[in-house]
Amino acid sequence: MSKRSSQTKEVIGNEKKVKTKCSKIHYNGWEVPEHDYTLDVIEIKDVTPEIFFNNYIACRRPVVLRGFLQDPEFVAPSKWSNDYLKATAGDAKLMVEERSSIDDSYGQGNEVPMTFREFLELLEKKDMLHYLTTQDVEADPDTGRPGLMAPFIEMLSHDFPLRPSLLGHLVPQNINIWMGNAIDGSTTGLHHDYHDNLYILLRGQKKFRLYSPSDVEAMYTRGQLLHVHANGRINYQGEETTAYGADLKSDQAAQAAKAQEAAERELELAERDAANGIPGAQARIAAAEAKLEAAMDAAMSFEFDEDNDEEDDQDIDGEILEDELNSRRIVDKTIKDPINFSCVKTSHSMIDLEAEFPLFSNAKAAYCTLQVGDMLYLPASWFHEVTSYSSKANDGHLALNYWYHPPDAFTSFTSPYSSSFWPDDFNARYTS
């Protein structure tokens, strides 16, 4: 039996097991097989993008990769000294997370403004209270869609590929830089993200504790669980999306617009054939007109709903957020008590945890440690707690990560989404 077929059987078996846990959990990917499990490690030189897709992305299985990206554009490891970062992007303005003491966790939403140069100078002074995390990204003035990276990362974007070959046809959602200083280790707190993650360590050391999306009930998230999609994408009450992470109305509106374009093309071809006297063209015109009318009605209904939603929002809120006025969007940004964070504090004693969070001890944790030159692939909505340590040279810790829209179709390497929503969106914005 091939490795792929055995993993497929494993996934099917997991699905049956999970469904007995909770009717809201439909996750059917790989799960941690035992407590204190050590994550698999593979050599980057031994894997092709298609093998990686079949063995890890499609199975929703996290894995550590030894070695940096093989793309020739990836030169960040050899270039990103503090002096280079200052010279290239030092004047860029940032919002940097600040904690009150080294005993606090990050992810609490306390931020201060400074330039990238000022932040780097703090690190050089061995400051351990500031942490560079996700930043606001500018929206495209024509489409309103957010960019892939913050302005300071765009200044460095010639040092890494926009779409690493390893991740094949997955569509990037955001690219981030994570940077700080922690001699004794600093932790993010236990949480999950909403996108597939390729995490690349350039300085320092990172230790990860991981739990699968099937353990969501044992994580005691701040948000109220709505359901978990088969690919692991977690939805909370009031924030329902498709499995691939698209807002339901946006996805439906895009499909309606696409159907209208197809009907218009079909009508144009039928009318041309009718002018040339081709038999059956008149019937095709009638059918195309009916399709076009239905598609236009659908598209208009979504526009009408959107207008009503905007009016309702204005009636309820009465004001427009400053971020909207500035055409900016917050990307997975840490806020006070975010819904994707766990209430569990893993530093507490097991006795205290079992008393307050009785299901937590049933969750099976996997562990891995990243050194410089390692990468971690982490599927969407896998819970993780990251502890960061400064390098032996004491120049802090630094990581680059790519977030990808979570795939939900796993039978084809070239088509990892059940809808063309994200590929169409990316191609319209970034492919000339």
Q: Are residues 13 and 114 in the same domain?
A: yes
- Domain count of the chain? 2
Amino acid (1-letter code) at residue 208:
F
pLDDT exceeds cutoff 60 at 65 = yes
Decide which of 265, 288, 323 is a domain's last residue.
Answer: 323
Residue 276 dihedral angles phi and psi, to the nearest 5° = -95, 5
Question: Residue 378 CA to chain centroid, in angstroms?
Answer: 10
Find out whether 380 and 50 touch, Cβ atoms under 8 Å. Answer: no
- What pLDDT, on the 0 to 100 scale, is given for residue 17? 41
- pLDDT value of position 287: 85
| Assessment of whether the complete model's pTM goes beyond 0.85 | no
* 278 and 198 within one domain: no
Q: Looking at the structure, tell me whether residues 184 and 333 fall in a common domain.
A: yes
Predicted confidence (pLDDT) at residue 329 exceeds the cutoff of 50 = no
Residues 20 and 154 in one domain: yes
pLDDT at residue 296, rounded to an integer: 64
pLDDT digits (tens, 9 = 90+) for 169-187: 999 999 999 999 998 888 8
Same domain, 271 and 413: no
Do 297 and 408 belong to one domain? no
Instruction: Look at residue 311 and tell me whether its pLDDT is greater than 90.
Output: no
- Asked if residue 60 has pLDDT above 50, the reply is yes
- pLDDT category at 188 given cuts 50, 70, 90 is confident
Which string of DSSP letters, residue by residue, matches 118-150?
HHHHHHHTT--SEEE----EEBPTTT--B-SB-
Measure Cα distances from 206 to 21, 39, 85, 300, 337 in Å.
32, 14, 21, 50, 24
Same domain for 370 and 263? no
Task: Write the pLDDT tens digit of every residue in 375-414.
Answer: 999 999 999 999 999 988 778 999 999 999 999 999 999 9
pLDDT value of residue 106 = 60
Nearest to 158 by CA among 75, 268, 271: 75
**Residue 276 to residue 298: CA distance in whole angstroms:** 32
Answer yes or no: is pLDDT of 64 > 90: yes
The residues pairing with 187 across neighbouring beta strands, listed in sequence order, are 387
The mean pLDDT of the chain is: 85
370: helix, strand or coil: strand
Choosing from 323, 355, 379, the residue where a domain stops is: 323
Average pLDDT in the 158-162 region?
A: 98
If pLDDT is split at 50, 70 and 90, which confidence band does 153 have? very high
Here the tokens at position 65 are 């990769």
Contact 253, 302 (CB under 8 A): yes
Picking from 323, 349, 381, the residue at the C-terminal end of a domain is: 323
Question: DSSP string spanning 10-72?
Answer: HHHHHHHHHHTT-TTB---S----STTEEPPEEEGGG--HHHHIIIIITTT--EEEES----T
Check residue 317 and give its pLDDT.
34
The answer to whether residues 336 and 375 belong to one domain is yes
pLDDT attached to residue 92 = 97
CATH code for the domain of 107 = 2.60.120.10
Structural domain of 383: 3-242+326-430
